[in-house]
Amino acid sequence: ARVVVLVSGSGTNLQALLDAAADPSFGAEIVAVGADRDGIEGLRRAERASVPTFIVRLADHPDRPAWDIALADAVAQHDPDLVVLAGFMKLTGPAFLGLYAGRTLNTHPALSPAFPGMHGPRDALEYGVKITGATLFVVDEGVDTGPIVAQVAVPVLDEDDEDALHERIKTSERRMLVEWVGRLARDGYIVDGRRIVSPPPTS
């Protein structure tokens, strides 16, 4: 399967996918990496792996709908089967979802439906939960609301600050992302309401 990954930051989730995809049996080929900003480590990771990159900045467009159309166009140039948002810190819009609804995965550093939005680890700490984690889901128009592919639980320790907790979550998050992107890329999947199911076997 052809996969485009979108990033906004350090790109450690991207790196885990690039490393896994070095083995062709992984089933997912990272054909391009896109970002909404320049100068980020995520783009440098792609360059080091000789994967083509593109940047679609909100500031270069008159408004969000125009940015959304430009992002959809830029992704479509690479004709992906799957799009993975790996720490992409913007909501995709209707133009993007018009092309890639059902085929876009996102990872969120909390156990949905708890703590959606930009600050999953901070919100979990403030609430005082003892277990949080990460959620891989199929993107819909909401904020971290789409059908859940997989979740992994991570303990919150008494001495945690936001960074320590987020780093512990990310260690598990990367493993989950690699496992499931590979599996979905190899086997395909069907979104049936809120459930992700295997496609019927082809004879």
Count of residues near ligand GRF by CB under 6 A: 15
**Span of 12-20, 62-70, 97-105, 145-153 interacting with ligand GRF by CB under 6 A:** 12-20
**Tokens 């830029």, residue located:** 74
Q: Which of 92, 104, 107, 132 binds ligand GRF (CB under 6 A)?
A: 107
Has 108 been annotated as catalytic?
A: yes
* Out of 87, 133, 146, 182, the residue judged to bind ligand GRF by CB under 6 A: 87
| Cis ω before 113 (30° cut-off from 0) | yes
- Residues from 165 through 184 that contact ligand GRF (CB under 6 A): 170, 173
**Member of 32, 72, 75, 86 binding ligand GRF (CB under 6 A):** 86
* Residues labelled as active-site residues: 108
Q: Given the rule CB under 6 A, which residues bind ligand GRF? A: 7, 9-14, 42, 86-87, 107-109, 170, 173
